Amino acid sequence: MSKKIQAPLATIKPHTLEKHKDIRIDNYYWLNDRENSEVIDYLNKENEYYNEMTADTKAFQTELFEEMKARIKEDDQSVPYLYNGYYYITRFEKGQDYPIYSRKKGNLEAIEEILFDCNEMAKDQTYFQLGGLSVSPDNKLAIFSSDVVGRRIYTIQIKNLETNEILSDKIENTSGSAVWANDNFTIFYSTQNEVTLRSDKIFKHKLGSKSSEDVLVYFEKDETYNVDIAKSKSKKYLAIESGSTLTTEYQILEADNPDGKFRMFQKRVRGLEYSINHYGDSFYIMTNKDEAENFKLMKTLETSTSKENWTEVIAHREDVLLEDIEIFKDYLVVEERENGLHKIRIMPWSGKGEYYLPFDSETYSAATGANVDFDTEILRYGYQSLTTPSSVIDFNMKTKTKEIKKEQEVLGGKFDKNNYIEKRIWATANDGTKIPISMIHQVGVKLDGSNPLLQYAYGSYGYSMDCTFSTTRLSLLDRGFVFAIAHIRGGEDLGRPWYEDGKLLKKKNTFSDFVDCSKYLISEKYTSAEHLYAEGGSAGGLLMGAVINMAPELYNGIIAQVPFVDVITTMLDDSIPLTTGEYDEWGNPNKKKYYDYMKSYSPYDNIIAQKYPNMLVTTGLHDSQVQYWEPAKWVAKLRTLKTDNNLLYLNTNMDAGHGGASGRFESLKEVAKEFSFLLDLEGIKR
C-alpha cells in the first residue's frame, strides 16, 4: 500500500459540552448532521482515501470474494417445516442475492407456491430487507414488512396468497413484526417513535381499513422500555411484552377475542424478569424471581397469573443458566448453559426418564430450531462447531434416534474438518478470573509466536459468543491464521453473573479481560504482538476502542465495525435511537457516578498522543443502532493525535445501516475488504 497519499483531515470546529461542571471540547461534534453537505463531503473523501490507499489490494479482494462465494451452495434451500397443513421452505437460486419464500400444501411433492421472491422485491433498491412474515390462520393471507433504507424502519403490507394480490392496507413506520388474531381479519403490530426509533405503541388493524383508523391498544410511556406483540405456540393467546434491560411485563388476550381488553399477567417490578409460554390450562414462566440470577422455571394457572401464584418446576442453580424452553404435547425441552456450553434437556411430562442430548465437543453450539408443531415427538435442533458445518437435526424424543436433515455444504472440494484443530483454553484475568477462549487453526501450526491470530469478542448485553462454523473464515485459516473467540465478561457465556460482572460500573472488566486474553495468547506463543489482530462490531467496536487506548502495543491491526465509541455524548442524548433503553446496560450519565465512570473508558474521550495499531473502521450512513458520526468523529480525532504512521481507514457504506450491505453476496464483499486488510498487513498477497 502506498502511504504517500494525504489522508483527509476533518475541519476542527470546537463545541463545548458541559455536564456535572465538567467541560469537554468536541472538535468534531458538527459531523452529526447527515443532511449537511460538508459532512457527506468528508465521508466521501474518507472513502476515496480508503479506495486509493487499497487500490493495489482490489484484485485480491475480488479473489477473496470469489473464493468465499465459491464455497457457498448458490441453489440452496432450508429444511422444510410443517405448519398448519403446509410445508414452508426458504430457498436461493443460483446467481441471486436474496431468498425466495415458498410453501407446499400437505406434502413435499405438492406444487410449490411462491410467497415472496425477495429478488424481485429488491429490484431498483440499493438496500432491501424483508421483515417478519405471518400467515393467517386460514392460510389465505400473509403479513409481510420491508425496509429499503437499512434503518430498521419497516412498512407492513398484506398479500392475498390465493390471488397474489397485494392488498391496499399499508402501515408505515413499524418495527416490522405483526401477528394475526384468530379471526383472519384483525392484526396487531408495533410502531416506533420517529426520532428515537423506540418501539413504543401497539395498534390494532382491521383488513381493508386505513392505517389512520387503527386503534391504539397500548402505549408504553416509559422511555427505557420497548414493546412487542406475539402469539403463543398454543395459538390461544396474544401477548404484549414491555421490556427493559432489567424488567419485563406481559399483558395477555385470547386470540379468539381481538376486540377484548388485554389484561395484566404480572405487573412490572423493577428487577423482575420473566417470559411466558402457554400449555393446557397453565403458563410456564422463566424468571429470576426470588434472586434466581440464572433463572428458574415456574408454573401458574391461566386464571391466576400474578407472581404470588407461581410454583416452582425447575429450581434455580448457581452453576447452570436456564436459557429457553420449548413446549410439546408430551415433552418439555429445556435449553441450558453450563460451564459455557449448551445443553438440551428432554423432560417427559410424565415425569419419567428425563435425559440430556449428548455433545462431546468444547467448541460447539447447539440450539432448538423451528418447532412450530405442538403435537409431535420430533425435536428439531441445530448443531455446529468451529470445525463442523451447521447441521439441522430431527430428534425423536421417544425413541432417542436422530436424523440429520441437512448439513451445510462447503463447496470447492478442499474443505476437510480433519485439517483443523479446535480447542478451548483458559486465560487468567488480572483479578484471577478464568476466561475461556475458543480457537481453531490448521493442523501443524507451530506455537512459536509467528502465527497471525485474529481475536474476536463482543462482551455486552449478556450476549454470548457461541462457537459457530464459518465458510468465510476458511480464507484466513487456510492462509495460516489462528482464530480465537474470547468469552469475556459482559456476555452470558458462563451464566448471568458473567454478564453482571461486565456492565454498568464493572464495564471495564470486559476490556481488561480481552487484553488479558491477548497477553495469554502471546505468552503461550500462539502469536506475538507483531502478528496479533483484533475485531469487534457495535458494542464490540467499543471494546476495540477501549483496548487500543489501554494496550495499543499488543496489536498490529484492528477492525472496528460500526463501533460505539462516543459513549458519554450518545448516552446524554435521549433523542438518539436506543439511548434511554440502555441506561441499565451502561448507566445513566445524568448521574455523576456513571458519567465519571463512562468518561474513564469512553474511547473517543480517551484518545491520547501515542502510537496506535493499523486500523480499519467501518460504518453505515443510515445506521440506527450506532450513528455513523461516532466512528467518523473517532477517526477524525485519531488522525490528529496518533504519533505513528500506521494505517487508519474509515469506510462508510453510504447505502446501508447497522447490518451492512443486504444480500448474501454483497455482504461477502465487505468481508473481503476486512480480510484483505489483515492479509496485506501480514504480507500475504494471494
Annotated catalytic residues are 538, 623, 658
Q: Report the distance separating Cα 678 and Cα 592, nearest Å.
A: 40
Q: Report the distance separating Cα 293 and Cα 543, nearest Å.
A: 25
Write the burial class of residue 509 (CB in 10 Å: 0-12 exposed, 13-18 middle, 19+ buried).
Answer: buried
Q: Pairing relation of β-strands 453-456 and 482-486?
A: parallel
Provide the edge-to-edge strand list for the sheet that holds 86-91: 81-83, 86-91, 100-105, 112-117
Write the burial class of residue 422 (CB in 10 Å: 0-12 exposed, 13-18 middle, 19+ buried).
Answer: buried
Residue 521 identity (one-letter amino acid) = L
Report residue 361 as a C-alpha cell: 465437543
Q: Report the distance separating Cα 376 and Cα 371, nearest Å.
A: 9
To 10 degrees, what angle do helices 629-641 and 37-53 make?
60
CA within 13 Å, CB half, 305? 23
Residue 482 identity (one-letter amino acid) = V
Question: Taking the mean position of all CA atoms in its chain, how far away is CA 59?
Answer: 31
* Bridge partners (DSSP) listed for residue 287: 274, 296
Q: Which residues contact 272 (CB under 8 A, 6 or more apart)?
A: 247, 248, 266, 287, 288, 289, 307
Q: Report the distance separating Cα 327 and Cα 234, nearest Å.
A: 9
Q: Pairing relation of β-strands 648-653 and 614-620?
A: parallel
Cell 450491505 locates to: 661
Write the burial class of residue 45 (CB in 10 Å: 0-12 exposed, 13-18 middle, 19+ buried).
Answer: middle
Backbone φ and ψ of 15, nearest 5°? -130, 125
Report residue 474 as a C-alpha cell: 476458511
Q: Which residues contact 347 (CB under 8 A, 6 or more apart)?
A: 331, 332, 333, 334, 354
CA within 13 Å, CB half, 557? 20
Backbone φ and ψ of 12, nearest 5°? -85, 120
**What secondary structure letter does DSSP report for 10?**
P
Residue 115 identity (one-letter amino acid) = L
The answer to whether 177 and 162 have CB atoms below 8 angstroms apart is: no
Q: Report the distance separating Cα 297 and Cα 303, nearest Å.
A: 18
CA within 13 Å, CB half, 625? 19
DSSP state letters, 608-650: -SS---EEEEEEETT-SSS-THHHHHHHHHHHHH--S---EEE
Q: Which residues contact 45 (CB under 8 A, 6 or more apart)?
A: 8
To 10 degrees, what angle do helices 508-523 and 592-601 make?
20
